[in-house]
Amino acid sequence: MKVSLQLKIGQQLTMTPQLQQAIRLLQLSSLDLHQEIQQNLYDNPLLELAEESENPPEPTPENSQEKAPSTTETTIQEEPVDSTSQDLNSDDWDASIPQDLPVDANWDDIYQPTSSIKSTSSETMDFENVHNVTESLQDHLLWQLNLTPLSQTDLLIAENIIDSIDNNGMLTTPPEEIWGSLDDDEIELDEVVAVLHRIQQFDPPGVGATNLSECLLIQLSQFSADTAFLEEAKRLVSEHLDLVGQRDYKKLEKLTGYSQEIIGAAILLIQTLSPHPGEAIQNNDVEYVVPDARVTKLDDHWQVSLNQDITPKLSINQQYDQLIRRADSSQDNTFLKNHLQEAKWFLRSIESRNDTLLRVASCIVELQQRFLEQGPEAMRPMVLADIAEKLKLHESTISRVTTQKYLDTPQGVFELKYFFSSHVATASGGECSSTAIRAILKKMISAENPAKPLSDNKLTTLLQEMGIQVARRTVAKYREGIGIPSSSERKRFKQ
């Protein structure tokens, strides 16, 4: 095999570091963006919060008489208004920013990242988790066990029982197997069962049960004796739990001799119980949705504005900016210049993200005004290409903007992707959004007779009578998508 050198000409599309940073910020959610901003504030001494600026620029006669247009608000009339960019801070250093860095460069190659300050202490303290105590169900049960007066043998049995309880609070190992796993031959099965009954009195109610019926009975046994319909509920749970799940009132009335009113009241009492008692102890972090933009109606026009509360206002530190003007080539001044350049591009990327988000949200609101006024049934069919074509952007950009970004509307808070849906044809030659069909199906099913629920075929017929041409399998897919069971599962036998 001969070794040789060859020249080859080719073209390759490579993104500049600035474009890479802008795309990365564009696809971040509001929470991730806030963390990214905090990290840059820690790493870059040239960046600071606008509220912390000690020398705010004094208003000049020019800007005091004429206010620059804002990038955070757009009024929907006929076309979405393209917002203009704000000045970052100063005009002199803005001209020194290169338009683009070399395409074959990486951000870290141009700007050296600042390492965070490391503690000289031998022990590293995680301040975020100082007060964060995550307690599992087993920890909660062991804590109660330590407060319970038991013998050493019973404590050993109780620990083995708690180890066999899953996160839902159910006992996954039968008492016979737990007894067989103990090494002490003097322990009897009755003693294991007695300790299990003791643990079943722990919090949360129903913990340690071997099946659903026992779990519900344990919870019912902790009700006061004078609770209305308590005995009836216990009998239904212990003897006819499957019929209770089917809501077969007629068969329950025949087997128990109770009237339908008594059965209904007992079932209401059963519904207050928890089939998974362990879920009450699970410490799941609750994530609250904070809208990135809001839409309000003002003077018959829909107005879109960005939520400024979720994004801190940033600026360039003026003191460091003045030091850079010395124009010397010292190591400290070079360090400041590099970080100033990085801070400028970060601020520009933030502004570009806000401007793109506002434009996309405004365009969505313009096309979905009927939804804002009438609700999901008036949702217009729309795909990413519709917004991309209107704003002269690529579909991938629209996809990044609408992912994990939320809009606060009079109908509620929705992810921007919620407004995009496929369509089906109508008898008049028009189109109907799949979101609107789901809303119509939900409305039909909520108004149906519980004794005679609407089947998928009947729902298809009703939609066709409304002029919506849709197949039965499509109706079944939409129904399952909104979490509605089939007609047989929705059937209620009460007349």
Rounded CA gap, 132 and 143, in Å? Answer: 18
Q: What's the pLDDT score for residue 98?
A: 54
Reduced to 3 states, what is the DSSP secondary structure of residue 452?
strand
Q: What is the pLDDT of residue 215?
A: 94
Sign of the Cα pseudo-torsion (316, 321, 327, 331, in order):
negative
The C-alpha atoms of residue 150 and residue 164 are separated, in whole angstroms, by: 19
Q: How many alpha carbons fall within 13 Å on the CB side of residue 474?
A: 17
Q: Does residue 97 carry a pLDDT above 70?
A: no
Instruction: Give Cβ neighbours of residue 171 (< 8 Å, ≥ 6 apart).
Output: 161, 164, 165, 196, 208, 209, 210
Residues 83-107: what's their mean pLDDT?
A: 47
Contact 447, 414 (CB under 8 A): no
| Weakest-pLDDT range from 72-76, 115-119, 181-185, 395-399 | 115-119
What's at 135, amino acid-wise?
A: E
Q: What is the pLDDT at residue 491? A: 74
Q: Residue 492: pLDDT band by 50, 70, 90 thresholds?
A: low
Indicate the SS3 state at residue 231. helix
Calculate mean pLDDT across residues 8-35: 82
Q: Are residues 205 and 318 in the same domain?
A: no
Clarify whether residues 152 and 272 are in a common domain.
yes
Of 309, 341, 369, the position where a domain reaches its end is 369
Q: Are strands 301-306 and 47-49 parallel, antiparallel or unpaired?
A: unpaired
Over 90: is that where the pLDDT of 280 sits? no
Q: What percent of the chain has pLDDT over 70?
A: 79
Same domain, 229 and 172: yes
| pLDDT per residue as tens digits for the range 300-323 | 889 999 988 877 888 888 888 777
Token pair of 202, please?
A: 């722990």
Residue 162 has pLDDT above 90, yes or no: yes
pLDDT level of residue 26 (50, 70, 90 thresholds):
confident
**Tens digits of per-residue pLDDT, 425-447?**
777 767 788 888 888 998 898 88
Q: Residues 260, 364: one domain?
A: no
Residues 401 and 331 in one domain: no
CA gap 358, 292 in Å, rounded = 9
Tokens of 168: 């839902």
Angle between helices 189-199 and 152-163 (to 10 degrees): 70
Region class of 76: left (phi > 0), else alpha (psi between -120 and 50), else beta: beta
Pick from 312, 338, 369: which residue ends a domain?
369
CA–CA distance, 161 with 152 (Å, rounded to integer): 14
pLDDT for position 59: 47
Residues 167 and 181 in one domain: yes
* pLDDT interval class at 163 (50, 70, 90): very high
**Which segment of 80-84, 148-152, 197-201 scores lowest on mean pLDDT?**
80-84
361-420: pLDDT as tens digits: 999 999 999 999 988 888 888 889 999 999 999 998 899 899 889 999 999 999 999 998
Instruction: Give the confidence band of 132 by pLDDT, cuts at 50, 70, 90.
Output: very low
- 437 neighbors 424 (Cβ within 8 angstroms): yes
Per-residue pLDDT band at 127 (split at 50, 70, 90): very low
pLDDT of residue 485: 86
The pLDDT mean for the chain works out to: 80
Higher pLDDT, 70 or 167: 167
Taking the CB of residue 405, how many other CB atoms lie within 10 A of it? Answer: 21
Structural domain for 170, as ranges: 137-280
Residue 21 has pLDDT above 90, yes or no: no
**pLDDT number for residue 326:** 64
Domain boundary among 232, 260, 280: 280
Q: Which of 99, 118, 112, 115 is nearest to 331 (CA)?
A: 112
Both 186 and 318 in one domain: the answer is: no
> Does some domain include residue 265?
yes
Give a yes or no: residue 126 inside a domain.
no
Q: Which residue has the tokens 């180890």?
A: 163
**Pair 424, 461 in one domain:** yes
Residue 106, in any domain of the structure: yes
In a domain, 48, yes or no: yes
Global pTM reads 0.59
In a domain? residue 454? yes
Closest CA relative to residue 247, chosen from 449, 494, 445: 494
Domain with 441 in it: what CATH number?
1.10.10.60
Higher pLDDT, 155 or 1: 155
Query: Do 365 and 463 fall within a single domain?
Result: no
My answer on whether 353 and 471 are in the same domain is: no
Check residue 245 and give its pLDDT: 84
Q: How many CB atoms lie within 10 A of CB 79?
A: 10
Cβ(45)–Cβ(320) below 8 Å: yes
Beginning with the edge strand found earlier in the chain, give each strand of the sheet holding 73-76 in spatial order. Answer: 73-76, 301-306, 293-298, 406-409, 412-415
CB 288: neighbour CB atoms within 10 A?
5
Rounded-to-integer distance, Cα 66 and Cα 180, Å: 86
Sort strands 293-298 and 314-316 into parallel, antiparallel or unpaired: unpaired
- For residues 389 and 422, membership in a common domain is answered with yes
Task: Give the Cβ contact number of residue 221 at 10 Å.
Answer: 14
Percent of the chain with pLDDT strictly greater than 90 = 32
Distance in angstroms (rounded) separating the CA atoms of residues 208 and 174: 11
- Do 334 and 465 reside in the same domain of the chain? no
Least confident of 84-98, 124-138, 192-206: 84-98
Domain count across the chain: 3
How does DSSP classify residue 306?
Answer: E
